[in-house]
Structure 1
Amino acid sequence: MRLRLGPTLYGLAPTFLLLLAFPLVAAMCPMLCTCYFSPPTVSCQANNFSSVPRVLPANAQRLFLQNNLIGTLRPGMFGPSLVTLWLYSNNISSIQPGTFRHLQALEWLDLGDNRNLRTLDADTFRGLERLQSLHLYRCQLSSLPTTIFRNLFSLQYLYLQENNLLCLQDDLFVDLANLSHLFLHGNKIWQLSENVFRGLSGLDRLLLHRNRLHAVPTWAFRDLGKLTILYLFNNSLTTLSGETLSDLPSLEFLRLNNNPWACDCRARSLWAWFQRTRVSVSDVICTSPADRVGRDMRRLNETAFRGCPPGNHHPVGFDWGCRPEWENGAAHPHPHPRPHSNGSSNHLYGLGGSPPADPSSFYRDVPANDIRSPKYDPPTEDGYWGGYGNEEGGQLKKGCPGPGCSSLDSGGTRIGVLLLPFPWLLMLWGPSWF
Structure 2
Amino acid sequence: MLCTCYFSPPTVSCQANNFSSVPRVLPPNAQRLFLQNNLIGNLRPGMFGSSLTTLWLYSNNISSIQPGTFRHLQALEELDLGDNRNLRTLDPGTFRGLERLQSLHLYRCQLSSLPTTIFRNLFSLQYLYLQENNLLCLQDDLFVDLANLSHLFLHGNKIWQLSENVFRGLSGLDRLLLHRNRLRAIPTWAFRDLGKLTILYLFNNSLTTLPGETLSDLPSLEFLRLNNNPWACDCHARSLWAWFRRTRVSTSDVICSSPAELKGRDLRHLSEAVFQGCPLVSHHQVGLDWGCRPEWENGVAHPPPHPRPHPHPHPHPHPNTSSNHLYGLGGSPPADPSSFYRDVPANDIRSPKYDPPTEDDYWGGYGNEEGGQLKKGCPGPGCSSLDTGGAIRIDVMPLALPCLLMLWELLWF
TM-score range, shorter chain: 0.7 to 0.9
Task: Tell me, yes or no, if structure 1 residue 290 matches structure 2 residue 299.
Answer: no
Aligned with 1:215 (options 173, 176, 185): 185
Contact 2:235–2:281 (8 Å) recurs in 1:
no
Quick one: which amino acid aligns to residue 105 of structure 2?
H
Q: Within 2, Cα distance between the matches of 1:402 and 1:356?
A: 28
Displacement, 1:377? 2.6
| One of 251, 275, 279 as aligned partner of 1:281 | 251
- Deviation of 1:379 after TM superposition, in Å, equals 2.3
Classify 1:93/1:368 alpha carbon distance in 2 versus 1 (closer, same or farther; 3 Å). Answer: farther
Deviation of 1:357 after TM superposition, in Å, equals: 6.9
**Structure 1: which 5+ runs fail to align?**
1-30, 336-346, 384-396, 412-434
1:161 maps to a residue whose letter is Q
Change (3 A) 1:259 1:126: same
Question: Would you say the 8 A contact 1:125–1:149 is kept in 2?
Answer: yes
For 2:201 and 2:91, locate their aligned partners in 1 and report how far apart those are by CA, in whole Å. Answer: 29
CA distance in 2, matches of 1:229, 1:161: 16
Corresponding residue for residue 389 of structure 2? 372
CA distances 1:311-365 after superposition (whole Å, capped 9, x unpaired) = 3445321111313759336489489xxxxxxxxxxx958x864533746537535
Q: Do the aligned residues in 2 keep the contact of 1:83 with 1:107 (CA within 8 Å)?
A: yes
1:175/1:195 CA distance change after superposition, 3 Å: same
Question: Which amino acid counterpart does residue 396 of structure 2 have in structure 1?
Answer: P
1:410 to partner: Cα distance: 9.4
Aligned pair in 2 of structure 1 residues 203, 67: CA closer, same or farther (>3 Å)? same
Say whether residues 1:62 and 2:79 are aligned partners: no
- Aligned partner of 2:315 in structure 1 is none
2:121 partner SS: coil
2:316 equivalent to 1:311 = no
- 2:153 counterpart residue number: 183
Residue 89 of structure 1: aligned partner:
59
Deviations 1:36-66 (A, max 9, x none): 0111000000000000000110100000000
Letter in 2 for 1:303: A
Structure 2 unaligned regions, length at least 5: 308-335, 339-358, 380-387
Deviations 1:13-46 (A, max 9, x none): xxxxxxxxxxxxxxxxxx2000001110000000
Equivalent residue, structure 2, for 1:328: 300
Say if 1:217 and 1:315, in contact at 8 Å, map to a contact too: no
- Aligned partners of 2:112 and 2:133 also within 8 Å: yes
Deviations 1:279-328 (A, max 9, x none): 00100000000000000000000000011002344532111131375933
Q: Which amino acid aligns with 2:241?
A: W
Cα distance change on mapping 1:188 and 1:131 into 2, 3 Å? same
Match of 1:255 in 2: 225
- Give the one of 18, 28, 50 matched to 1:80: 50
CA distance in 1, matches of 2:20, 2:405: 35
Contact 1:170 1:196 in 2 (8 A): yes
Residue 200 of structure 1 aligns with an amino acid whose one-letter code is: L
1:368–1:174 CA distance, 2 compared to 1 (3 A): same
Select between 316-325 and 326-335 the one with higher mean Cα deviation.
Answer: 326-335
In structure 2, how many angstroms separate the alpha carbons of the residues matched to 1:73 and 1:62? 17
* Contact 1:39/1:410, CA 8 A, preserved across alignment: no
Letter of the aligned partner of 1:209 in structure 2?
A: H
Question: What letter matches 1:366 in structure 2?
Answer: K
Larger radius of gyration between Structure 1 and Structure 2: 1
SS state of the match for residue 389, structure 2? coil
Query: In structure 2, do the counterparts of structure 1 residues 151 and 118 end up closer, same or farther at CA, with 3 Å as the change threshold?
Result: same
Q: 2:85 matched to which residue of 1?
A: 115
* Aligned residue number for residue 345 of structure 2: none
Amino acid at match of 1:328: V
Q: How many angstroms apart in 2 are the aligned matches of 1:259 and 1:157?
A: 27
| DSSP 3-state at the match of 2:87 | coil
Q: Secondary structure at the match of 1:361?
A: coil
The verdict on how the C-alpha distance between 1:73 and 1:83 changes in structure 2, with shifts beyond 3 A counting, is same
The worse-fitting range, judged by mean Cα deviation, of 51-60 and 361-370 is 361-370
Inter-partner Cα distance in structure 1 for 2:235 and 2:103: 43
Find the aligned partners of 1:286 and 1:124 in 2 and give their Cα distance: 44
Greater percentage in helix: 1
Give the C-alpha shift of residue 378 in structure 1.
Answer: 2.5
TM-score (norm 1): 0.76
Q: What are the Cα deviations for residues 83-115 of structure 1, in whole angstroms up to 9, with x where unaligned?
A: 000000000000000000000000000000000
Q: Distance in 1 between matches of 2:177 and 2:238?
A: 25
Alignment pair present for 1:225 and 2:234: no
Take 2:305 and 2:189, find their aligned partners in 1: how far apart are those partners? 21
Contact 2:376 2:391 in 1 (8 A): no
Judged with a 3 Å threshold, the aligned counterparts in structure 2 of structure 1 residues 187 and 369 are, in CA distance, closer, same or farther, namely: farther
Q: How does 1:390-405 map to 2 (within 5 A)?
A: 401-402=405-406
Deviations 1:111-143 (CA, angstroms, capped at 9, x unpaired): 000000000000000000000000000000000
- Secondary structure of the corresponding residue to residue 182 of structure 1: strand
**Contact preservation (8 Å) 1:87, 1:110:** yes
2:370 to 350, 358, 361: 361
Contact preservation (8 Å) 1:210, 1:233: yes
Q: Is the Cα contact below 8 Å between 2:377 and 2:391 reproduced in 1? A: no
What amino acid does structure 2 have at the position aligned with 1:67? N
State the SS of the aligned residue for 1:328. coil
Partner letter of residue 195 of structure 1?
A: N
**1:51 touches 1:70 (CA, 8 Å); kept in 2?**
yes
Q: Is the 8 A contact 1:263 1:288 kept in 2?
A: yes
Distance (whole Å) between structure 1 residues aligned to residue 222 and residue 367 of structure 2: 21
Aligned-pair CA distance for 1:372: 1.6
Aligned partner of 1:170 among 129, 140, 149? 140
Structure 1 counterpart of 2:98, one-letter code: L
State the Cα RMSD in Å: 2.7
After superposition, the Cα gap between the structure-2 partners of 1:212 and 1:316, relative to the gap in structure 1 and judged at 3 Å, is: same
Look up the SS of the partner of 1:35 in the other structure: strand
